[in-house]
Amino acid sequence: MFPTWQPFEWIVAIRFLREGRLQTLFIVAGVAIGVAVIVFMSALMTGLQQSFIHRVLSTQGHIQLLPPRQVARPLRQGTDARPGEVEGATVQIPPQTLQSIDQWQAVALQVRAMPGVRDVSPVAGGSALVVRGNASKAVAVVGMEPALYYRIIALDQKMVRGTAQLGGADLLVGTELATDLGVDVGDKLRLSTAAGAGATTTLRIAGLFDLGNRGANARNVFVALHTGQSLLALPGGVTSLDVAVDDVYIAEAIAQRITTATGVEANSWIRTNAELFTAISAQNTSNTAIRFFVGLSVAFGIASVLAVVVVQKSREIGILRAMGISQGQVLRLFLLQGGLLGLGGAVAGCGLGVAILVTWQRSAHTADGSPLFALVLEPSLFAAALGLATVTGLVAAYAPARRAARLDPVEAIGG
């Protein structure tokens, strides 16, 4: 059976801590600073990562399904070449036309039913030329179904003026493109594509959006799906399927499952933003290293203070042993001190860490005035900090506690 923590041990442990108030204050302050660093770094890294990922995924889906790639292939001149003769071949250049995903409706239904997938939206996208008077700009046309697309890309929440609703004769343009062309909501633009014999249509600007990216605001134009299909000569077809998943960090694993199940090429945001994801992984590694060394310094601090307490209280320990206190009780007495120091410092450190986070989050802003990072205060972080500090205090107190338990009562009282 495990030994029980008796009230006597709690009383003596608390009394020892109260008698050495200055030492207790210093070690609690040290633990608090260490825990505050851990809480601050963990919450800051989590908030920065969420902000980075949110900005990256504000203009793209978590996974994008694409039609098969067109590649150059050799064409043989004949099949009856004699042995030793070199067979001539010509290289067939793939046609520079947009391809649709074969049976995309069935693929979308299959992908939507997969575990971890939240939404699927068809997209008909390609290049076009937008003309306004004598001014023209090359743009990327995105034809989509608003009801589905806005679940993946929250374009309706990024509107500056106008409405995000799209009819067959409407389009949405970015603020930068609108400034370059000198247009506003209600004005008309002419779109031309090289698809087929060349399609041209005139559309009305229904709204202006701001994606938080100057390049995206100057490049992207959104139209209804059937309008994009008509412009790009894709009757009933789509050039991609945008997929949103529940957990963005496992998007690559889900993309591989989609490719295996459907045979369609699936690119996750992790693959297309490999450098960013590598940077995030490096941040996690550095954060773990910082927390480890901070926890190590806290452990050494608690151990050194308790070692001094053992020397200072050796006479009292000897008297307690002579009165019949067992070695196990002395051991638990000092373990309690270590645990209480760790827990008390952790509580103070959590409060200090939150105060620093809130202050910095309110004062640090990006160029557009938005907060530099999201304030993420997860209960699991504080529970882990309290548990880690308490366990660290117990582990750090073990060596001094064993030394105290092994003191000979006669030598301790006489010395």
Annotated domain spans of the chain: 7-56+277-414, 104-263
pLDDT on residue 243:
93
Residue 156: other Cβ atoms inside 10 A: 16
Pair of tokens at residue 145: 């179904």
Pair of tokens at residue 298: 């806290």
pLDDT on residue 205:
93
Print pLDDT tens along the chain (415 aa): 445 556 777 787 788 778 778 877 888 888 888 888 888 888 888 777 777 777 777 778 899 998 876 555 555 555 555 555 545 555 555 455 667 888 899 999 999 999 999 999 999 988 888 988 888 888 999 999 999 999 998 888 889 999 988 888 999 999 999 998 888 999 999 988 876 545 788 899 999 998 877 888 888 999 999 999 888 888 888 999 999 999 888 889 999 999 999 888 899 888 887 777 777 777 778 777 877 887 777 777 777 776 776 666 677 777 777 777 777 877 787 788 888 888 888 899 888 888 888 888 787 766 666 666 667 777 887 888 888 888 888 887 777 777 777 776 666 565 5
Q: How far is CA 28 from the centre of its chain?
A: 33
Q: Kindly give the interhelix angle for 274-312 and 327-363, rounded to the nearest 10 degrees.
A: 140
Q: Kindly give the interhelix angle for 314-322 and 274-312, rounded to the nearest 10 degrees.
A: 70
Pair of tokens at residue 4: 């029980």
Cβ-contact 382, 39 below 8 angstroms: yes
List 17's β-bridge partners, or say none: none
Report how far apart, in Å, the C-alpha atoms of 371 and of each of 52, 57, 58, 100, 362 are.
Answer: 12, 18, 16, 41, 7
Amino acid code (one letter) for 98: L
Helices (H), 78-171: 104-112, 146-149
Cβ-contact 267, 64 below 8 angstroms: yes
| Burial state string for 78-91 with b = 16 or more CB within 10 A and e = fewer than 16 | eeeeeeeeeeeeee
pLDDT on residue 73:
56
d(CA 401, CA 386) in angstroms, rounded, equals: 22
Cβ-contact 393, 379 below 8 angstroms: no
Enumerate residues 6+ apart whose C-beta is below 8 A from 288: none
Amino acid code (one letter) for 172: L
